[in-house]
Amino acid sequence: MQRRAGTTTLAAPVRRVAPLALILLAACDGPQSALSPGGEDAIQLGWLFWVMLAGSVVLWLFINGLFFLVTRRHPHPMSRKLAEGTIVAGGIGLPLVVLTSLLAYGLSIMPHQREPGDGLRLRVTGEEWWWRVEYWPEGATEPVVSANEVRLPVGQRSDLELHAADVIHSFWLPGIAGKTDMIPGRVNHISMEPVEAGTFRGQCAEFCGLSHALMAFQAVTMEPADFDGWLAAEAEGISENARQAEGHAIFQEQGCGACHALRGTEARGEVGPDLTHVGGRGTLAAGVLPMTAEALADWIAHPEAFKPGVEMPGYNHMDEAELLTLATWLEGLK
């Protein structure tokens, strides 16, 4: 009887708090959240955050509680010694202990966060407003070129070499690690070590002009074997079938190859993203649209409507059917 009564009294607050906690936990989730980490560095940084948050809440309550106490609860004079002690203890003692340990903790995890990678090397270049991505597996003499999507093997530390083509960008994949800027004239490095396979979203974090808000990417973390298979396929040019298709003819006719490369064809443009396996990516136009034939058709006709200031001209002179054929063909380039 007693025990049962005990459980109900305990359960009531738990029942009330549990949904709240669930909501809060759910609020921390998301493909671009630093609080649902899938990488070794992000996990370490998550811990750092939760520890600091707990400390901050305690200190906030302490300082404001003290202020409330001396102004509202106990407005009468207290001893001068106590007041003086408060300055010394609160102003020097307390911060000395808290800050010194925090600083030592923070500094000591920095070298690990910036450890060099031990296998795959990526070279990512920020452009207005998309990402040029090159994979350099160990021993490679030339890269596998892709764009607007980053794939990383799980359980290995990959090294990302960061460049900028025009203005400063910042490469940020919150689920996996912290961010590092991409600065014209400089080469920066970041390394990443995913711990589970999944899909994450990243975004440019440094203001880079008109459509800064529209410069995202998808990241896919894969088991090493899957990754190797994918990379091998990615290294191939487009298939013979695709080359013979009507879509390819339209592609050539419209002069798309002046800006875009299609490996295995004459299209070698380097102004825009490499499109050899464009259909295999999760998103279109650097995370702005879904990878569907309809979205591709819309984008080709009116890129400015989706990304103000974009360099790609609109192809709205093409007729509807032609546009859809081209889009469907592109979407099929996996």
Tell whether residue 259 is a contact of other proteins (CB under 8 A): no
Q: Does 204 bind other proteins (CB under 8 A)?
A: yes
Contact pick of 183, 259, 301, 324 for other proteins (by CB under 8 A): 183
Does position 30 interact with other proteins (CB under 8 A)? The reply is yes
Count other C-beta atoms under 10 Å from residue 162's C-beta: 22
Q: Could you tell me which stretch among 29-37, 118-126, 139-147, 267-275 binds other proteins (CB under 8 A)?
A: 29-37
Q: Please identify which residue in 66, 97, 232, 233 interacts with other proteins, judged by CB under 8 A.
A: 66
Q: How far is the CB of 324 from other proteins (least distance, A)?
A: 24
CA 48 to chain centre: 19
Where b means 16+ CB within 10 Å and e means fewer, 9-25 reads eeeeeeeeeeeeeeeee
Verify binding: residue 59, other proteins, rule CB under 8 A.
yes
Q: Does 48 bind other proteins (CB under 8 A)?
A: yes
Q: Which residues inside 280-299 make contact with other proteins, applying CB under 8 A?
A: 287-288
Q: Is 314 in the site for other proteins (CB under 8 A)?
A: no
Q: What is the 3-state secondary structure (H, E, C) of the chain?
A: CHHHHHHHHHHHHHHHHHHHHHHHHHHCCCCCCCCCCCEHHHHHHHHHHHHHHHHHHHHHHHHHHHHHHHHHHCCCCCCHHHHHHHHHHHHHHHHHHHHHHHHHHHHHHHHHHCCCCCCCEEEEEEECCEEEEEEECCCCCCCEEEECEEEEECCCCEEEEEEECCCCEEEECCCCCCEEEECCCCCEEEEECECCCEEEEEEECCCCCCCHHHCEEEEEEECHHHHHHHHHHHHCCCCHHHHHCHHHHHHHHCCHHHCCECCCCCCECCCCCCCCCHHHCCEECCCCEECCHHHHHHHHHCHHHHCCCCCCCCCCCCCHHHHHHHHHHHHCCC
Q: Which of residues 70-99 bind other proteins (CB under 8 A)?
A: 70-72, 75-80, 82-84, 86-87, 90-92, 94-96, 99
* CB of residue 148 to other proteins, shortest distance in Å: 15
Q: How far is the CB of 29 from other proteins (least distance, A)?
A: 6
The Cα–Cα gap between 35 and 316 comes to 42
Among 9, 108, 141, 241, binds other proteins (CB under 8 A): 108
Our CB check for other proteins shows the closer of 161 and 234 to be 161
* Nearer CB in complex with other proteins: 42/275: 42
Q: Which stretch binds other proteins (CB under 8 A): 21-29, 132-140, 238-246, 322-330?
A: 21-29
Smallest gap from Cβ 115 to other proteins, in A, equals 8
Q: Which is nearer to other proteins, 6 or 68 (CB)?
A: 68
The residue among 186 and 268 lying less far from other proteins, judged by its C-beta, is: 186
Which residue in the set 110, 138, 139, 321 belongs to the binding site for other proteins (CB under 8 A)?
110
123 in contact with other proteins (CB under 8 A): no
Which residues have CB under 8 Å from 280's CB, separation 6+?
234, 333, 334
Q: Does 129 bind other proteins (CB under 8 A)?
A: no
Q: 168, 128 in Cβ contact below 8 A?
A: no
If binding is defined by CB under 8 A, does position 156 make contact with other proteins? no
Please pick, from the candidates 14, 21, 189, 271, the single residue that binds other proteins as defined by CB under 8 A.
189
Is residue 197 part of the contact set for other proteins (CB under 8 A)?
A: no
Q: Which of residues 208-247 bind other proteins (CB under 8 A)?
A: 208-214
- Residue 297 Cβ, how far from other proteins at the closest point, in Å? 19
